[in-house]
Amino acid sequence: MSHSWGHRLRSAIADRGRLCVGIDPHPALLDAWGLPRTAEGLETFAEICVEAFTGEVGLVKPQVAFFEAYGSAGFAVLERTISVLRDAGTLVVADAKRGDIGSTMDAYAQAWLGDSPLASDSVTVSPYLGFGALAPTLELARQNARGIFVLARTSNPEGGVLQQSSADGVSVAQSIVNAAVDANSDGRDTVGLVVGATRDHGLDLSQFNGPILAPGLGAQGATAADLADIFAGSTELLLPNTSRGVLKHGPSVSALREAAMRDRDEIEAALAH
């Protein structure tokens, strides 16, 4: 297990903390940073983020959609961004939220967890075509000591209508948690969950020992002080995620770095008690 995803993740947390910072080049942020809404502006945005975050945080999460919006030029920027981050030893969570079946899901797996120019350390995936449909991604992640983060209870209010609906007394979100527990029975922590930090998730996480990506810190209202209560008993591999809360301090590299370090240290202090 010394080269498993769980081992790699624990090493990153020990070295640089558990904060996961997003690279979300939203058009409004490009404007605020004085950058054009072009592939060139996108690249400058990403380069500033990479300079600010490498060496300071354990994980960085590029939001794929904001790169995809620029077509092939945007994907080229994303490829370079992922490569530079990984070469610097920063774990990359590709926030792609892919989900499909059969050979199509296998192709997504090869894109994000194989040997393609987009290959990352982990990827977000959607289980709403059935958890079993994620099998190609899960198997490739295991082979390559990488991880997947499965959407369970997301931070957006609309998600609750589906995720909290239930059959036989078990919510959809809880069924995903239970499937993830089974998938991680080999001890490699390959399957993580996405559980928003912005509300009472209503999940029983007592049997789940894998990583939890927790969006919602900062701009969406969650604070570091909330985490210990929201995720009581499940904080070992908790990865709080902030994007806009840090990115609003750009385009200054030093201001971005200081904001990320401040959030990182607040999280570590809050979860140490």
Can you give the CATH number for the domain in which 65 is found?
3.20.20.70
With respect to residue 273, please indicate whether it lies within any of the assigned structural domains.
no
Q: Which residues contact 133 (CB under 8 A, 6 or more apart)?
A: 99, 100, 101, 102, 105, 127
Which residues, in sequence order, are CB contacts of 99 under 8 Å at separation 6+? 105, 125, 126, 127, 128, 129, 133, 134
Assigned token pair, 253: 């590299």
Any domain includes 158: yes
Q: What pLDDT is attached to residue 162? A: 87
Residue-level pLDDT at 1: 57
Domains held by the chain: number:
1
Active site includes 97? yes
* 200, part of any domain: yes
Question: How far is residue 201's CA from residue 195's CA, in Å, rounded to a whole number?
Answer: 7
Average pLDDT of 122-143?
97
Residue 198 lies in a domain: yes
**Stretch 87-96: mean pLDDT:** 98
The total number of residues shown for the chain amounts to 273
pLDDT at 53 over 90: yes
φ, ψ of residue 96 in degrees (nearest 5): -105, -20
pLDDT at 2: 57
Cα 165 to Cα 254: distance, rounded to the nearest angstrom: 45
Set 10, 37, 80, 97: catalytic member: 97
* pTM (2 d.p.): 0.96
Q: Summarize the confidence of residues 20-46 as an average pLDDT.
A: 98
pLDDT tens track for 200-238: 798 999 999 999 999 988 666 788 988 999 999 999 999
The residue-averaged pLDDT of 83-101 equals: 98
Torsion of CA 15, 216, 188, 55, to 10 degrees: -20
Q: Which domain holds residue 57?
A: 5-268
